[in-house]
Amino acid sequence: MPAPAEVYDEQFVPALFRHWGPVLCEAAGVRPGHRALDVGCGTGALTLAAAERAGPHGAVFGVDPNPEMLSVARRKRSAIDWRDGRAEALPFPDASFDAVVSQFAMMFFDDPAAALREMRRVLRPGGRLAVAVCDAVERSPGYGALAALLERLFGRQVADAFRAPFALGDAERLRSLARQAGLDGADVFQRDGEVRFASIDALVSTERACVWTLGGLLDEAQFERLRAEAQTVFRPFVESGGAVAFSMPALLVTAEKLRP
């Protein structure tokens, strides 16, 4: 069985996350020659997009606490400086970066307000940050249907494990976190995105393999039951070629560090 980081990079990145890189880089104003930091970089989907924007005269760093994720990331591009570290204690001096970005990681931080405070600390005056989190699961029709199916089949505990990545899908809560971090002028807004898997089986198998949600929670009999029931639940989202596609909106937090 592939390692969790491999599953994430080979399945989740193309299905959910890769297309968000340019969106976050634009929101943070990443430009040629910039120093940029990706917090909670995982296997580097957003980091690579930032490196493309910053160009050969820029410098891009990715930080993550998961050594397996960083191991996969380091295979991709030697020019990026990959660092082991937590979002709540970034291993960089004050005012080190022109832009700080983070996508679909803050939901898993131990202390999101402290992480935002650290992002602000390492920004240069006039620099920008852009952070994306999953919007509420109810606003993603496919994942909302899967959460309801899991609860019906296996109970609230399993369904809530799946819902964990959507825990920060609340604009007012994000504004409150930004204020706690000293980002009083932060903007929070929704952007639509798309989930796309090759088939229903590919979607269900990938979600089952995710250690951050359903990994280890379902035995073989339960998985077979889930896969069978999913054929009906996901039928409205199946395209003519068999692929499954539906919207998954994100909430973006953007802010500029004020000059003194």
- Show the domain range for 172: 4-256
Asked if 16 contacts 248 with a C-beta cutoff of 8 angstroms, the reply is yes
Q: Which residues contact 24 (CB under 8 A, 6 or more apart)?
A: 46, 49, 101, 102, 103, 130, 132, 252
For the chain, what is the domain count?
1
Question: How does residue 217 score in pLDDT terms, banded at 50, 70 and 90?
Answer: confident
Q: Which helix (H) or strand (E) holds 188?
A: strand 187-191
DSSP β-ladder status, 244-247 and 250-256: unpaired
Q: Which of 260, 227, 220, 257 is nearest to 122 (CA)?
A: 257
Question: How does residue 207 score in pLDDT terms, banded at 50, 70 and 90?
Answer: confident
pLDDT digits (tens, 9 = 90+) for 83-130: 999 999 999 999 999 999 999 999 999 999 999 999 999 999 999 999
CATH number where 252 lies: 3.40.50.150
Question: How does residue 208 score in pLDDT terms, banded at 50, 70 and 90?
Answer: confident
Q: What is the residue type of 256?
A: E
Asked if 39 contacts 230 with a C-beta cutoff of 8 angstroms, the reply is no
pLDDT digits (tens, 9 = 90+) for 69-95: 999 999 987 789 999 999 999 999 999
